[in-house]
Structure 1
Amino acid sequence: MTSPTFDGRSRSEAFEDSQDIGINDSPNPTISEVVRQRYGRRDVLKGLLAGSAAGIALGSGLPLAASAAAQNSPRASTGGFTFTEISHGVDGRHHVAPGYDADILIRWGDPVTSDAPAFNVRAQSAAAQAKQFGYNNDFIGYMPLPLGSRNSDRGLLFVNHEYTSEEVMFPGIGRQDSKDKLFKDMTRPLVEIEMAAHGASIIEVQKNADGKWSLVGGSPYARRIDALSSVCEITGPAAGHARLKTKADPSGRRVIGMLNNCAGGLTPWGTVLTAEENFHGYFGGKLEAGHPEERNHKRYEVPGNWYNWGQYYDRFDVAKEPNEANRFGWMVEVDPYDPRSVPKKRTALGRFKHEGAAVVLNSDGRVVLYSGDDERFEYVYKFVTAKRFNPNDRRANLNLLDEGTLYVARYNADGSADWLPLVHGQGPLTAANGFNSQADILIETRRAADLLGATKMDRPEDIEAHPANGRVYVMLTNNTRRKADQVDAANPRASNEWGQVVEMQVSNGDHAGAKCQWTLLLQAGNPADPRVAGKFHPATSKNGWFACPDNAAIDPQGRLWITTDQGEAWEKASGTADGVWAVETEGPNRGLSKMFFRVPVGAEMCGPCFTPDGKTLFVAVQHPATDGGEKFTKSGKGSTFEDPATRWPDFLPDMPPRPSVVVITKTDGGLIGS
């Protein structure tokens, strides 16, 4: 077995470091260069980005606060946040603002299907895990029951399971992806448990008379999608292409499982979009020199050698099945209302390390989807459907995402942005550059975007689009590899440990247009530290600022909520655990942020999701104990099953930390944030 790339790291730390590599060697401008050209260092330091009573001007010169659409739309922001914020800190428990309850809804190993056995951490099996809640919950989507309603008291939750951490899952195992281990303790049964713990869970939930939420037992909708046995269909322009065909699937149209599903989104027709992110880490082996896929695999860092699945399954060994990696890295569409439906990998949306799926119904009836490629120096994309949404025919909408145009963003120093189409035969996207069809462009989306001159970003993660005012928020988590000569307007800091939020604005509700305007909503990091140059509203408290924005949500009142992922560097980036912050986006308090929720040590905050009435917030606590928890273990080393930094949420002697979904409600039953 080839040595893993990151010796001695936990799985979460390994993925985090991978995203910090930044393998994009194209000469394209970086967003930091664009920011510097647009604002200049002096303007940034003077506080241009901090917000003011006049708002922050777009390239057009109009203050955002004066947007008529934002002020008049019934779903524009309807007021500030009045909750009492909590303090920065870190310990083994979670914390929420006073006047709120934060209850555990479901944990890794809890039953999902009606025939699932009770969780027994000392007698795990793949068969049991395939019926139980998976590991490392990330994206959460709430879908009311019945379909088409706005019911906020009963619905379905779709929850992603991104990856597994064997050192805290299995007794006596410890970290396996290191030179001294080389997965020697990972047996086939353990590998199959890992595979079964990936994918997604669909559960039915209800709000009870006492205001508390619970799972609905025996729900006909309940099911698991996993990486061990669940069949997915490949659709769109790349389906059936020779580069997607394998020995097990000569059709190139059916693949087992989803991998590393991170953030996602919901469609207007009631389906879920779940993003395959760091798929490269699951592949091992070594591709022979000169293989036709060599350049493609290198651009995606395949193989990552972080799991030993290829030891037991040939499809994860690139030497034995070089095309299998091309079958991952897609956006997957799932119909949660039809338990018999097959998940579909929509190739028209491109192949990269997808993070997020912000879906907008455009002014002309077409559907627009925004997504980021979560790695340093990668790009922001959008997809525009060819056909229009039909509100009266759900079946007609179910394949909308198979036809349309994929675009990549170029941010300009004048505050404008260009959307560059990734279309075969246009510009450099021709056979002369190795693109013989649209399928080739979609399989090698990164390289196609390189050739178009897209702007290299500071790790674009989740993207959220406001449904009423034409604004789109891009979470740029960080980029410690950016050098001083690489800064630009939208990525203004070198060695950027803290990230920023880019706000895009479309005109007249036209998200399908070839151009938009952009500005910075905020620069994350401590505003009181000149070295950091964080930029929030001046009234932001010492607890209100944050580092490393990751996921986001817009509540039914039109207000922005941001969650963070600092990785193992949380102590250096902010000194506080990750959590949820409420951020003002309009008027005199634009850029004002308040801390609402905090995760236990070693965890990141994922999946913020509101019910339609705004009275419930679901969040996902991922990988508790595993990121930078050495000061909280007895050994002073990284967490293991026997010695974790925290045993959240059970706090039982023989129970390890368990990733969990938390449901937050106000004790008086009111709106979240009020």
Structure 2
Amino acid sequence: MIAERVSRRSLLKGSLASGALIAGGSFVGSLFAGETHAAAAQSTLGFPELKRVYDKTHAAAEGYETTIVARWGDPLAAGLAEFDGNKVAAEEQEKRFGYNCDYIAFMPLPKGTVNSDHGLLCVNNEYISPNVMFPGMTEGDAGKTMTREQVDLGMAAMGHSIVEVELKDGKWETVADSPLNRRITANTEMTVSGPVAGHALMKTSADATGTKVLGTSYNCSGGFTPWGTVLTCEEGVSDIFGGDPKRAPTADLLDRYGFDGSDIYGRGRFHDRFNLDKEPNEANRFDWVVEIDPYDPQSRPVKRTALGRMSHEASTVVLNKDGRVVVYMGDDDYFEYMYRFVSAKAYDKANPASGADLLDDGVLSVARFDADGSMTWLPLVHGQGKLTVENGFADQAEVLLKTRFAADALGATPMDRPEDIETNPVTGRVYAVMTKNKKRDQSKVNPANTRPENLWGHIVELIPPGGRGADADHTAEKYAWDLFVLCGNPKDAKVGATFHPDTSDNGWFVCPDNITFDPAGRLWVATDGANDFDLPDGVYGVDTEGAARGLPKLLFTCPHGAEATGPCFTPDGTTLFLSVQHPAEDAETLDKAQTLWPDFRDGRLPRPSVVAIRRKDGQPVGA
């Protein structure tokens, strides 16, 4: 499979225009224009590379400074005492910054501007780490031993945090008493919209309409829209439900989505809605994309079911040249798929209100990668192909409720845990991160996932037809594609890494997780999994064009046990916000924590936090 891709690479390099379709219907394209490497590549990244050290604290490259902007427990309302994680209760936690920060969106203030020194940080709070939250507790026994108070605290600490921030004298500060500050938690009332709203499998004893849901959980990556809302992704809630999924009326559906009744946070012991024996349909009300208006603290979040149901990782929004909205999504699990949603209607830039329900009507598709370097988006539309009543799909609502089954039926390409998917604002190309897949053997490799037992991950590059930048057609049925980098140690021949040959001992990385682009079109990669190789997770800048294409440089490293996630630039590129998630999580219990980052105070807990990275001279990051 690798030989076939390399052979095709040699054939196509320098050929026709990117992503072109010739009249005869065959797929050709110069995927690699400007790709050839100079003998000594000159990276456009101007900083001196950081030396990789796995330490109790974080580190940034020379010439850069960091600020802790928001920690778990920081107040989001006036009148709250200094945070003490040993004493906080659930009710108070709902007024404080949440736990295990993940995806970040910077939404400028005033709304509709590109202001880069005042805005709202909209931050996912994915999950909790009981082993470093509660003294004496291990990760394995949490589900059975957490008290009602601890369970409720965990529910209040997950979800999403919105906090107003300002840049003052080169340092970012939160506005603790801002009326825009807000928490969205596992108890926040939400509306269900789109084709699945009101379906019988969405109805419970507490909601006979199937249109109202309490809460969101496992909010991992996300996106933001041209009309000023934030999308937060529910990524695989299967292990926060108790009960026996095999006895449920929808046992096959629950099994396909990984429900095993493990109830790792004990919710099912105290809340019937998280017990599959009592409320089997509650599970169907999660694993969606949730839309939030951060500028209106009274607004109700909406679960947009037209975007499909999966372990959502990323919901990156692109405004296509014809005005339609495109959302790229990954299903973050082994052998799952990549998806794209295209809205039925166009967005009117002159009327932001036109985006209000735009994500309720459109076509969801799943990706198939072929060995000739082409990829096809297969529409998940009821009545087309195998998506029929005879094959178990009664209507479009069931196609979306059973998104994974539908993708299986169409023959989509199983990927190595597709996580973030982002678009380059300069080239219009799309980059999809595969973090790893230890379960793939040689018999299951495919053109886009070429290594068995892929412990290191890789990044796939998608090339829509139509041209560069805004001319790219993100609604097209067919794209070109290539493997941008295969990750891992390039000095280990068995790994088969394909970084630029000038990559340093500090520059190569493993397990890419979240990515973003700076205004100049450079890729920034945050990793999750380097700890397994006794390395720190961190953030790397990478050129995607020119002689230094595929040449990473290390900018930032995390403390012990933490991953880097949610990288997000201000519009002017002078600040890179980053979530440092689950510090010390590799400790069996709190008393064995290798770090108390970022406070380093005896008797206090490790605190997941948002960090701001800036150049000391105020120039754009990476320049």
Q: TM-score, with normalisation over the residues of structure 1? A: 0.87
What secondary structure sits across from 1:586 in the alignment? coil
What secondary structure sits across from 2:564 in the alignment? strand
Aligned to 1:80: 44
Aligned to 2:170: 211
What secondary structure sits across from 2:460 in the alignment? strand
Answering whether residue 250 of structure 2 is matched by residue 293 of structure 1, we say yes
1:57: how far off?
Answer: 8.5
What secondary structure sits across from 1:588 in the alignment? coil
1:120-199 to structure 2, matched below 5 A, reads 120-172=84-136, 174-175=137-138, 177-178=140-141, 183-184=144-145, 186-199=146-159
- Alpha-carbon distance in structure 2 between the residues aligned to 1:171 and 1:547: 32
Change in CA separation of 1:640 and 1:55 when aligned onto 2, cut-off 3 Å? farther
- Alpha-carbon distance in structure 1 between the residues aligned to 2:357 and 2:593: 45
What secondary structure sits across from 2:520 in the alignment? coil
Does the CA contact (< 8 Å) of 2:139 and 2:588 recur in 1? no
Answering whether residue 273 of structure 2 is matched by residue 312 of structure 1, we say no
**AA aligned opposite 1:127:** E
Change in CA separation of 1:484 and 1:56 when aligned onto 2, cut-off 3 Å? farther
Name which of 200, 205, 225 aligns with 1:267: 225
Change in CA separation of 1:557 and 1:237 when aligned onto 2, cut-off 3 Å? same
- Alpha-carbon distance in structure 2 between the residues aligned to 1:368 and 1:54: 29
- Alpha-carbon distance in structure 1 between the residues aligned to 2:29 and 2:105: 37
Name which of 332, 335, 349 aligns with 1:377: 335
- Alpha-carbon distance in structure 1 between the residues aligned to 2:175 and 2:250: 47
**AA aligned opposite 1:318:** L
Change in CA separation of 1:335 and 1:57 when aligned onto 2, cut-off 3 Å? closer
- Alpha-carbon distance in structure 2 between the residues aligned to 1:110 and 1:466: 34
| Backbone CA RMSD of aligned residues | 2.2
Aligned to 1:111: 75
Count of matched residue positions in the alignment of Structure 1 and Structure 2:
604
1:647: how far off?
Answer: 0.6
Change in CA separation of 1:165 and 1:385 when aligned onto 2, cut-off 3 Å? same
**AA aligned opposite 1:163:** Y
1:558-573 to structure 2, matched below 5 A, reads 558-566=521-529, 570-572=531-533
1:469: how far off?
Answer: 2.1
Name which of 486, 490, 493 aligns with 1:530: 493
Structure 2, unmatched stretches of 5+, are 20-26, 36-41, 467-471
Aligned to 2:185: 226
Answering whether residue 561 of structure 2 is matched by residue 593 of structure 1, we say no
- Alpha-carbon distance in structure 2 between the residues aligned to 1:564 and 1:473: 15
Answering whether residue 295 of structure 2 is matched by residue 322 of structure 1, we say no
- Alpha-carbon distance in structure 2 between the residues aligned to 1:57 and 1:539: 26
Aligned to 2:573: 614
1:118: how far off?
Answer: 2.8
Change in CA separation of 1:513 and 1:182 when aligned onto 2, cut-off 3 Å? closer
- Alpha-carbon distance in structure 2 between the residues aligned to 1:389 and 1:382: 17
Does the CA contact (< 8 Å) of 1:352 and 1:445 recur in 2? yes
What secondary structure sits across from 2:54 in the alignment? coil
- Alpha-carbon distance in structure 2 between the residues aligned to 1:54 and 1:542: 34
- Alpha-carbon distance in structure 1 between the residues aligned to 2:16 and 2:99: 42
- Alpha-carbon distance in structure 2 between the residues aligned to 1:118 and 1:99: 32
Change in CA separation of 1:375 and 1:270 when aligned onto 2, cut-off 3 Å? same
1:112: how far off?
Answer: 1.3
1:292: how far off?
Answer: 3.0
Does the CA contact (< 8 Å) of 1:616 and 1:663 recur in 2? yes
Does the CA contact (< 8 Å) of 1:360 and 1:368 recur in 2? yes
**AA aligned opposite 2:153:** I
Aligned to 1:654: 603
- Alpha-carbon distance in structure 2 between the residues aligned to 1:651 and 1:183: 30
Structure 1, unmatched stretches of 5+, are 1-32, 68-77, 628-637
Does the CA contact (< 8 Å) of 1:53 and 1:589 recur in 2? no
Aligned to 1:471: 429
Does the CA contact (< 8 Å) of 1:198 and 1:259 recur in 2? yes
What secondary structure sits across from 2:407 in the alignment? helix
Change in CA separation of 1:399 and 1:122 when aligned onto 2, cut-off 3 Å? same
Aligned to 1:501: 459
Name which of 450, 462, 487 aligns with 2:420: 462
1:65: how far off?
Answer: 3.4
Aligned to 2:38: none
Aligned to 2:536: 577
**AA aligned opposite 1:500:** H
Name which of 540, 554, 572 aligns with 2:517: 554
> Cα deviations across residues 393-447 of structure 1 (Å, max 9, x unaligned)?
1112111000000000000000000000000111111111111011111111001
Change in CA separation of 1:336 and 1:528 when aligned onto 2, cut-off 3 Å? same
Answering whether residue 61 of structure 2 is matched by residue 97 of structure 1, we say yes
**AA aligned opposite 2:352:** R
1:278: how far off?
Answer: 2.1
Does the CA contact (< 8 Å) of 1:113 and 1:222 recur in 2? yes
Does the CA contact (< 8 Å) of 2:162 and 2:294 recur in 1? yes
- Alpha-carbon distance in structure 2 between the residues aligned to 1:566 and 1:218: 37
- Alpha-carbon distance in structure 2 between the residues aligned to 1:89 and 1:474: 28
Does the CA contact (< 8 Å) of 2:464 and 2:480 recur in 1? yes
- Alpha-carbon distance in structure 2 between the residues aligned to 1:511 and 1:57: 14
**AA aligned opposite 2:123:** V
1:63: how far off?
Answer: 4.7
- Alpha-carbon distance in structure 2 between the residues aligned to 1:118 and 1:256: 29
Deviates more, 1:78-87 or 1:299-308: 78-87
1:536-547 to structure 2, matched below 5 A, reads 536-547=499-510
1:618: how far off?
Answer: 0.3
1:166: how far off?
Answer: 1.1
> Cα deviations across residues 144-181 of structure 1 (Å, max 9, x unaligned)?
10111010010000000000011111233x11534xx7
Aligned to 2:469: none
Aligned to 2:325: 367
Q: What is the percent sequence identity of the aligned residues?
A: 50
Structure 1 stretches of at least 4 aligned residues deviating more than 6 Å after TM superposition: 51-59
- Alpha-carbon distance in structure 2 between the residues aligned to 1:81 and 1:53: 25
Deviates more, 1:416-425 or 1:643-652: 643-652
Q: TM-score, with normalisation over the residues of structure 2? A: 0.94
Answering whether residue 295 of structure 2 is matched by residue 337 of structure 1, we say yes
Change in CA separation of 1:577 and 1:52 when aligned onto 2, cut-off 3 Å? farther
> Cα deviations across residues 239-296 of structure 1 (Å, max 9, x unaligned)?
011100000111101111111000111111111011000211111111354x431110
1:116: how far off?
Answer: 3.9
Does the CA contact (< 8 Å) of 1:53 and 1:587 recur in 2? no
Aligned to 1:408: 366
**AA aligned opposite 2:55:** D
